[in-house]
Amino acid sequence: MFKIKNILITGGAGYIGSHIVEQLVKKKNVIILDNLITGYKKLINKKAKFIKGDIKNKKKIAKVIKDYKVDSIIHLAGFLNVKESGKNKKKYYKNNVEGTSNLIHACKNSTVKNIIFSSSCSVYGNVNGPVNEKKKLNPQNYYAYTKLKAEKIIKKFSNKYEYQYGILRYFNVAGASSSGKIGEIETSHGHLIKNIAIQSLQTKPIISIYGNDYNTKDGTCIRDYIHVSDLVDIHIKTLKYINTKTKSLILNCGYGKGYSVLDIVKIFKKNNNRLMINYKSRRIGDVDKIYADIKKIKSILKWKPKHNDIKKIIKSSIKWESTI
Inter-residue contact 292 to 175 (CB < 8 Å): no
Calpha distance 59→84 (Å, rounded): 28
- Sorted by sequence, the CB contacts under 8 Å of residue 266 that are 6+ apart come out as none
Tell the burial category of 34 from Cβ atoms under 10 Å away from its Cβ (0-12, 13-18, 19+).
Answer: buried
- Sorted by sequence, the CB contacts under 8 Å of residue 240 that are 6+ apart come out as none
Residues in the chain: 324
Which among 154, 160, 161 has a CA at the least distance from the CA of 119?
154
Calpha distance 314→264 (Å, rounded): 9
Inter-residue contact 152 to 167 (CB < 8 Å): no
Rg, C-alpha atoms of the chain: 19
3 C-beta neighbours (distance < 10 Å), count: 7
Inter-residue contact 222 to 215 (CB < 8 Å): no
Q: Is 143 a catalytic residue?
A: yes
Tell the burial category of 121 from Cβ atoms under 10 Å away from its Cβ (0-12, 13-18, 19+).
Answer: buried
Say what angle helices 228-245 and 15-24 make with each other, to 10 degrees. Answer: 60
Half-sphere exposure of residue 163, counting CA atoms within 13 Å on the CB side? 31
Instruction: Given the residues 92, 124, 142, 143, select the one marked as catalytic.
Output: 143
Q: Where in the sequence numbering do the catalytic residues fall?
A: 143
